[in-house]
Amino acid sequence: MSGDGTSEVDGKPEQPGPAELRDPLVRRELQKATIWIGVAGAVVLAWYLAQPILFILAAIVIAAMLDGGARLLGRILPIGRGWRLAIVIIGALAFLVWVAMLAGTQLTAQAGELQATVMKQVDSLGGWAEKRGLTSGIEFTDIRDQMMGSIGKLTAAVGTFVGGVTGAVMVFVLSIFIAIDPRLYERGVAWMLPMREREHFYGTMDHMGYNLRRLMAGRLVGMAVEGVGTWLLLWVGGVPMAALLGILTGLLAFIPNIGAIVSGVLIMLVGFSAGTDTGLYAVAVYLAVQMVDGYLIVPMVAKRAVDLAPALVLGAQILFGTLFGILGLALADPIVAMIKTALERESERGSEAAKAGKKAGSAGKAAAAKRIASRAQ
């Protein structure tokens, strides 16, 4: 052993081990290992808690919608924010109760009829394709069974409000608490951040809230126009199950791209089940409603708030839908919007820091040049 307390083996000094925490090298490596283990643990924990996390994100999105409604009422009603928020919440609950009580029985009956009609149409389409040699080994029975499983779940949830009632109630209650005082929860998250990061965090939250309100406002307007428009136009044309198709179209409008495709397939299958003329009319109704939503509502409201590339949204929907199911599919658009806002804010801060550094560098060079000039004199 040498005089400084270190030991030698065969004339070579031994390296510090994991138990030698006083050594700076060991402490530094231990910190790195702790960070990587923490990141891996957070990823695993997030994977196992994906469903509760999505519930919280859904509550945040709904809270943004409630807050947006309260802000909109503030333009016409000179009352406190709490009263305006209460009006919005009561209105939303009243609408849900109305749909459940007055239209519940009719929708339940139509849900079963829709499933039988779509199954019959898929079988007819499969037989038509098989006669013309277009199947190429495709089993239409498997496609039909998968489609029926998805449609059955969706129509059952719409018709009876049984599917996911507990989760929906929890999400709605949580969204009310968040909408009442969003700053309370922002301050709670900011408390865990360093002081120098809090101002940037508050600004990012303000931008996210603004973009979410605009995005959800556009989504609600699109849902209302597509749902009510499809309902009325199909009812006028004598298309069966117009009420159920209208409500399904309105609900599916919350999911861009994929929702429109699913609702279009349902409308066309049901339309052609009543005859060729009715089917062509149903196709015309679908195209007209989608054109109004795509060329009028989205550019005027949603796209101005968060200009998301369609391919980016569709890719996120496929990814989140595969990983987390229908809830992930529905929340893909808002999640991408929030991520995009956060990245833009970070980019803005980086640009401002670069400009400030460049300005400081220019000022430093000018001052150095002045000092050199003064010394030369």
The pLDDT, as a whole number, for residue 156 is: 46
Q: Cα–chain-centroid distance for residue 209? A: 13
Higher pLDDT, 154 or 256: 256
CA distance 247 to 44: 38
Picking from 62-76, 152-166, 328-342, which range would have the lowest pLDDT averaged per residue?
152-166
The pLDDT, as a whole number, for residue 309 is: 73
pLDDT of 78 above 80: yes
Confidence of residue 153 (pLDDT cuts 50, 70, 90): very low
Confidence of residue 376 (pLDDT cuts 50, 70, 90): low
Arithmetic mean of pLDDT, 73-102: 83
Question: For residue range 89-99, what is the model confidence (pLDDT) as tens digits?
Answer: 998 888 777 76
Q: Write the CB contacts of 186 (distance below 8 Å, at least 6 apart in sequence).
A: 201, 202, 205
CA distance 72 to 84: 9
3-state secondary structure of 12: strand
Q: Are 154 and 166 in contact (CB under 8 A)?
A: no
Arithmetic mean of pLDDT, 46-75: 86
Question: For residue range 190-249, what is the model confidence (pLDDT) as tens digits?
Answer: 888 888 888 888 988 998 888 888 888 878 888 888 888 888 998 888 888 888 788 888
Higher pLDDT, 210 or 158: 210
Q: Are 259 and 252 in contact (CB under 8 A)?
A: yes
The pLDDT, as a whole number, for residue 159 is: 44
pLDDT of 255 above 70: yes
Q: What percent of the chain has pLDDT over 70?
A: 67
CA distance 9 to 19: 19
Sign of torsion, CA 158 147 256 175? positive
The pLDDT, as a whole number, for residue 246 is: 86
pLDDT of 5 above 60: no
Q: Which segment, 25-29, 118-122, 343-347, is predicted with the most confidence on average?
A: 343-347
3-state secondary structure of 13: strand
Q: Where are the domains of the chain?
A: 50-132+141-353
The pLDDT, as a whole number, for residue 216 is: 84
CA distance 282 to 276: 10
3-state secondary structure of 62: helix
Q: Are 334 and 65 in contact (CB under 8 A)?
A: no
Confidence of residue 158 (pLDDT cuts 50, 70, 90): very low
CA distance 281 to 80: 48
Compute how many other C-beta atoms are within 10 angstroms of the C-beta atom of residue 273: 21
DSSP string, 174-219: HHHHHHH-HHHHHHHHHTTS-HHHHHHHHHHHHHHHHHHHHHHHHH
Average pLDDT, the chain: 76
CA distance 115 to 246: 15
pLDDT of 7 above 60: no
pLDDT of 149 above 70: no
pLDDT of 268 above 60: yes
Q: Are 170 and 161 in contact (CB under 8 A)?
A: no
CA distance 273 to 124: 10
Q: Are 270 and 283 in contact (CB under 8 A)?
A: no
Higher pLDDT, 193 or 157: 193
Picking from 188-202, 305-319, 326-340, 354-368, which range would have the lowest pLDDT averaged per residue?
354-368
Output the 3-class SS for 221-255. Answer: HHHHHHHHHHHHHHHHCCCCCHHHHHHHHHHHCCC
The pLDDT, as a whole number, for residue 87 is: 92
Compute how many other C-beta atoms are within 10 angstroms of the C-beta atom of residue 31: 10
Burial of 53 (0-12, 13-18, 19+ CB in 10 A): middle
CA distance 345 to 203: 8
The pLDDT, as a whole number, for residue 356 is: 74
